[in-house]
Structure 1
């Protein structure tokens, strides 16, 4: 192995896999049923039942490099654990390692005041509440975050917030108590990257209205609780400003780096699970006188899937190593590359698995449609493919600026 696991990580992985076998996979059908029957405005009982079990086994907040509250793992150490959790939509929240809470907890840990940490970070770390992150807007092309139009205006000892956001994950969850909101405090600043700020908005503040859940390929609540939220003359204390006015992009870059790599780690696990389903399916089905697994096109797809997963994993581990050794800012190219490569890899493998399952693959019975919704969503979330490709190209061209 190019990146061997330490004994600590190997033991955590063993415990995690055991927990998945005993508690996650047997409860997936129930999880999807509860999500469908209860909808995105409710808490799913199966999740709340499993959280205490995970915490009791020490499988809690594994993402957090801060050893006071988490496992104290590096990005490279966390990668194989995150991959295991990514095999099931049910798993990440059970271990308190799901987006957007992970990114929001890291923001609060880095930039929040002691009061913020006591009021919001502490219950988030305990899994008692959830949070949301409000950045994307329906009225502008939010792939360019400088387009964001929501306003944050100082009024004495308060800020007044106005804006319409969507794809605000978690907002419909009744446990969602705090929002990290991105808007403009200085829209006329010549530096477009210093116009924005981030501020904490308690969800119970007057003027915050969760308008509706947004389906992802028809799924409400799975893979996430995407939501549209309107903020109308929302007043919060000036102390709720994170880091200071004009620092929103700085915070966003610190937040999105780990978030992007975590998504990729989970997608590798989801792709592995999908390939397993595909192999089991084709070995059990006979068409035109022989098992589907003996059809050449099937074997080619299985081989290509294995190659693609291994390539994606190595690329992701390399990005994790770079983040740990030179920092997120220097590792921007590595992060951008995996954010393009991994979701595209997952989409292709899931598509092949759907094909191998025949008509049944398009139903919800095999978890493939849910998996595809996740993978396809992640070609847009945290920056679309096109933005990351442009960034990678600029990094590459810069090497030849004096040529």
Structure 2
């Protein structure tokens, strides 16, 4: 460490990082790319050893993304260190492609060069030249992949815009409980069972899916994992909400999206609840109902050939004034069914729901026929 602090390069690196953090003209991914370039340069020019460079890289990106972030609400919402680490790891792996940079840095290592030379009998100079070329190409490819932003998520500031209607203001007592209960029955029967968790990656959810009396073995777990990749029934209401309010684009990248849903349904929603409790908001005991309220104002549905960006675009902004029949139709369109919903099939989509909540079939058909005549 004495060598590290006696070397002016260390302080130059720190100064460069601070300058990059404060340079407002650059987008976040451009700032990250410059940090990558600085780190790769340190390794390529052998200014520091590989371990030190990677340590610098992780430290500087963590400081930038979690401590000195331009995302002003993040420090207030996400306060637990384990959640900060999870957020950091997701961002640098899936959005900022750090593995490409780490591998390119590793290829500049003297030890890697010597090992390949000794193992295969190649000239040390030749091996060094080839690895430097490969490392440079891999670094450039990693930067291109990062800058292309095939998958991008919103900042906490942007996500919080979906919660502009404060939990303090929701007229819970005026909303028919059947509306929320119907949504739960149609989309996620585990919703009220899961008192402490928010996604399918939890014992509460798995026990419900397997049934408490069922013995869980390897084959059933394997089948469960495969099913979660494809079946909507394995996406909890919270996961559906997070992908709607949190993903800017890259929805078609299924694996990355699922990982995002699992991680951020925990990181963000648990942190938000803690934030409300800490700041003594009213109605915090109805947090789960509040998430359902936000869900209705953000998640899309499709009825017939018409797409509604938000459920409330169909049922109306004042949820307390909505009819159960309108909600039934809107909830039936959440899966974007094929064939599309129409007056012929609407009564058979969820017959048990119609019976359980004593919905008017005549009213449902009248609403559908009015839509078809528009």
| TM-score normalized by the length of structure 1 | 0.23
Normalization by structure 2: what TM-score? 0.25
The structure that has the greater radius of gyration is: 2
